[in-house]
Amino acid sequence: MCILSMSKKYIYQGNFKMTTTTTQTKAVIDTTVPVANALPSVITKEYAHALPIDELVALLELKDPEIEDVVYSDPRWNEMVTVDAGELFDIIPKGAVRIKQRKYRHPKCVASNPFYIPQRDVLRRVLGWWCAPERPLSLYLYGETGTGKTEMIQYFADKLNWPVSIMQVTEYSRSDKAQGSYVLHNGKTPFHYGPVAQSMKYGWCLILDELDKGNGDFHCKLHNPVEGKPMQIDDTGEIILPAEGYRCVGTGNTSGGGDISGRYLTSNRMDEAFRRRFGVVKCDYPAYDIECAILTSRNNPDSPISKKTIRRMCRFATEIRKALQAPEIEAKCTTPEELASAKLPVERLGCAFSTRILVAWHQYIMVFGRQFTPLIESFNFVFGESLDEEDRPAVFAILQRIFGESINHADEWTEEKK
C-alpha cells in the first residue's frame, strides 16, 4: 500500500503528463481532455491491478519508490505465452523448441541492437540454461572485449520481453548499492530497492556486467543472489526471495582467474567459492561469415560499402585475431601437421581487434565518405592511431597483405582506376 502526499492533488487521466522537479512532482493537466479519474490518495496493489497496463506504467512517472513497488509487483508482468523459439531466433529450427515469453512488454525491457546476429554455440547454451527447470548456477559469459557478450544477453532478454536490470561492476561497487538504499521522497525516506534486490523480487534478468572487475567483498555479498537463494537486505532486514522469472548473468573479460594476458589489467581474480556458482560460456569473436553478414546488414542501402571491402575487412579481423591467439593455438598443437593446418600468420600481437571495432570501422568509412576518403583514414581513427608501438608494424603488415594498395584509396578503387 502506498499513501500519496495529501498536500497535493493528483489528477489522473489517460494522457496526463507528469513533470518532476527537484522539490516536487506536478501533474500537468491537458484541459482539452475531460478528467477521467482522480488518482486516489492511497494506491493499493488492487487499485493498480485494475488499471490498464499503459496507465499502470504511467504511475512510474511519479517517481515514488512505494508506487514503483506497487507497479512492479503487478502479477500481469509474470503472465507468459509459450512461443516457438524458432520464430524468435532465426538460427533455431522452427518447431524444435518452445519457450516462454512475457505477455506484456515491461518498462524495464531494453530494446537490443537490431543488427545483432547471435553465435549459434553461445545462443544454444544460453537457451539451455535459461529454460532449465532449476538454475543452481548463474551464467557467466566471458571473452575478449567486443565479442558481443553484453549484447547477447540483452538480445536474448529483449526477444522474450524479459525485464532487465544492468549493474556495471567496478572495483568500487558496493553491496549496499546492489541491495538498495533509503531515499528522500516528499519529506519521507522510503527504501528504494537496488538492481539485485529488484531483479530477485520482481523476477527480472540481472546483468552483472564486467563482474570480474568487482572486489572480493562485493562478490561475497552476491553469493546468495548468484546461487538463487534468499538474500537479506542489510538496511531493512527484509528477506528477498528469488521470484520465478529471476535470472542472473555475469559478463567479464577473464574466466575469473584474473588477467593473464596483460590486456585486462583491472580484472581481478575471483574467489573460488564465487566462481563455482556460475556455469561458464566462453565467447569468441563471430566467425568470418557472421561478421560479413553483420557489416552487410549495417550497410547504407543507398550507398553500400562494396562486398570486396567488407570481405577484406573481415579477413583482416580474422588474421589479426590469429596473430593474437597464435601462442595459445601453437601450445595446443601436438604435431607439425596440426600446426601447419592452423595456418598461423608469422606476426604476433598483443592487441584485440574486436567486432565492436570492426563495426565502428564500417560506420566511419560511411561517415568519412565511402567514395572519396581513403580507407586508411577511418582505420587509423578506430584502431591504427591507438596501437602500442610494438604492435604497429605487425598490424600494418597484415593490413597491407590483405588490402594492398587499395587501403590508401576510397572504397571500390581498383588497379584499373590508377
Ligand X SMILES: Nc1ncnc2c1ncn2[C@@H]1O[C@H](COP(=O)(O)OP(=O)(O)OP(=O)(O)O)[C@@H](O)[C@H]1O
* Residue 147 partner contact from Mg ion, ligand X, none using kind-dependent CB cut-offs of 5 to 8 Å: ligand X
Tell the smallest beta-carbon distance from residue 202 to ligand X (Å): 24
* Residue 286 partner contact from Mg ion, ligand X, none using kind-dependent CB cut-offs of 5 to 8 Å: ligand X
* Residue 115 partner contact from ligand X, Mg ion, none using kind-dependent CB cut-offs of 5 to 8 Å: ligand X
* Residue 68 partner contact from Mg ion, ligand X, none using kind-dependent CB cut-offs of 5 to 8 Å: none
* Residue 382 partner contact from Mg ion, ligand X, none using kind-dependent CB cut-offs of 5 to 8 Å: none
Tell the smallest beta-carbon distance from residue 32 to ligand X (Å): 43
Q: Which is nearer to ligand X, 179 or 355 (CB)?
A: 355
* Residue 178 partner contact from ligand X, Mg ion, none using kind-dependent CB cut-offs of 5 to 8 Å: none
- Give the interface with Mg ion as residue ranges (CB under 5 A): 150
Q: Which of 366, 321, 372 is nearest to 347 (CA)?
A: 321
Tell the smallest beta-carbon distance from residue 258 to ligand X (Å): 16
Q: Which is nearer to ligand X, 12 or 353 (CB)?
A: 353
Q: Which is nearer to Mg ion, 151 or 319 (CB)?
A: 151
Tell the smallest beta-carbon distance from residue 160 to ligand X (Å): 18
Distances (CA, A) of 333 to 28, 144, 207, 284, 341: 70, 22, 36, 19, 10
Q: Which is nearer to Mg ion, 13 or 154 (CB)?
A: 154
Residue nearest to ligand X according to CB distances in the complex: 148
* Residue 148 partner contact from Mg ion, ligand X, none using kind-dependent CB cut-offs of 5 to 8 Å: ligand X
Residue nearest to Mg ion according to CB distances in the complex: 150
Other beta carbons less than 10 A from residue 65's beta carbon: 18
Tell the smallest beta-carbon distance from residue 296 to ligand X (Å): 11
What's the per-residue H, E or C state across the chain? Answer: CEECCCCCCCEECCCCEEEECCCCEEEECCCCCCCCEECCCEECHHHHHHCCHHHHHHHHHHCCHHHHHHHHCCHHHHCEEEEEHHHHCCCCCCCCCEEEEECCCCCCCCCCCCCCCCCHHHHHHHHHHHHCCCCCCEEEEECCCCCCHHHHHHHHHHHCCCCEEEEECCCCCCHHHHHEEECCECCECCEEECHHHHHHHHCCEEEEECHHHCCHHHHHHCHHHHHCCCEECCCCCCEECCCCCCEEEEEECCCCECCCCCCCCCCCECCHHHHCCEEEEECCCCCHHHHHHHHHHCCCCCCCCCHHHHHHHHHHHHHHHHHHHHHHHHHHCCCHHHHHHCCCCCCCCCCCCCHHHHHHHHHHHHHHCCCCCCHHHHHHHHCHHHCCCCCHHHHHHHHHHHHHHHHHCCCCCCHHHC
Q: Which is nearer to Mg ion, 59 or 283 (CB)?
A: 283
Tell the smallest beta-carbon distance from residue 150 to ligand X (Å): 3
Tell the smallest beta-carbon distance from residue 350 to ligand X (Å): 16
Tell the smallest beta-carbon distance from residue 98 to ligand X (Å): 24
Q: Which is nearer to ligand X, 220 or 287 (CB)?
A: 287
Q: Which is nearer to ligand X, 71 or 290 (CB)?
A: 290
Q: Which is nearer to ligand X, 236 or 261 (CB)?
A: 261
Q: Which is nearer to ligand X, 121 or 338 (CB)?
A: 121
Q: Which of 345, 359, 227 is nearest to 291 (CA)?
A: 359
* Residue 267 partner contact from ligand X, Mg ion, none using kind-dependent CB cut-offs of 5 to 8 Å: none
- Give the interface with ligand X as residue ranges (CB under 6 A): 113, 115-118, 145-151, 251, 253, 286, 294, 355-356, 359
Tell the smallest beta-carbon distance from residue 150 to Mg ion (Å): 3
* Residue 116 partner contact from Mg ion, ligand X, none using kind-dependent CB cut-offs of 5 to 8 Å: ligand X
Q: Which is nearer to ligand X, 198 or 253 (CB)?
A: 253
Tell the smallest beta-carbon distance from residue 357 to ligand X (Å): 8
With contact defined as beta carbons under 8 Å apart, do 306 and 411 qualify?
yes
* Residue 359 partner contact from Mg ion, ligand X, none using kind-dependent CB cut-offs of 5 to 8 Å: ligand X
**132 Cβ neighbours under 8 A, 6+ residues apart:** none
Other beta carbons less than 10 A from residue 243's beta carbon: 15
